[in-house]
Amino acid sequence: MTGELSYGHDLAPKQFTSSVYLFRETDGTWEIALLEHKKLGKWMVPGGHVEPNENPCEAAVREVREELDLKLRFLSSNHAHFSADLGDARETITPELIVEEFIRDDYEDGDHIHVDCLYLARVRSGELDVNEREAATADWVTQESLPREEMFESTERLADHFFSVMRTGDYRSIGSNLTKYDFDLHRVST
């Protein structure tokens, strides 16, 4: 059945990750930031594991900074938004989507499942500068020039979806009202 993990895969340990579908607009054309994963040889969006003492939103910001040296502005295509005085609790950015992906790993962690929090964002500042420890290369890519044969199917489909969202303008900036949250992240050194 579509969307279900294979038998036994649902018993694998789960690890939380965050990924960012990060866009910029150049001369009226939307481009997405992609990087070529060194180990997998696939073009992917920036992202990685959520570290201890970090929420998925913070991990998304950190990964974009570490991998591409960019600052971002979170966007949402989901127009439902809850905002209230939460007392001693604080609101954080909700992912656009959360997906589970089975990862076959015979070397490091063994087979596991990534619970991936997917965020939509656009560049706030910075110039794309790939961290060669994190990726072989990185680039801004239009929808027409996506390296489809060198992408995971889910990444390709989600990129197409988010290109459509960006073109139609069916999104809004989020997070600016979260005054207790520093999106430059005090935990991330510059």
Domains of the chain: 14-81+93-170 (3.90.79.10)
Identify the three-state secondary structure at position 150. helix
Please give the C-alpha separations between residue 185 and each of 48, 132, 189, in angstroms, as whole numbers: 16, 22, 8
Parallel, antiparallel, or unpaired for β 172-173 and 112-125? unpaired
10 Å Cβ neighbour count for 33?
24
- Residue 187 CA, distance from chain mean position: 18
Q: In angstroms, rounded to a whole number, what is the distance separating the alpha carbons of residues 122 and 80?
A: 20
Provide, rounded to the nearest whole percent, the portion of the chain with pLDDT above 70: 81
- Round the average pLDDT of the chain to a whole number and report it: 84
Total Cβ atoms within 10 A of residue 177: 10
Q: Name the least confident of 47-51, 56-60, 148-152, 186-190.
A: 186-190
Give residue-wise pLDDT tens across range 24-41: 999 999 999 999 998 889
pLDDT tens-digit series, residues 157-183:
999 999 999 999 988 887 654 433 344
Mean pLDDT for 107-115 is 79
What integer pLDDT is reported at residue 97 of this predicted model? 93
Say what the pLDDT of residue 147 is: 97
User: What pLDDT does residue 31 have?
Assistant: 98
Residue 123 is which amino acid? V
Provide the whole-model pTM.
0.84
Give per-residue pLDDT as tens, 59-90: 999 999 999 999 999 998 876 666 667 777 77
Residue 188's pLDDT is what?
A: 39
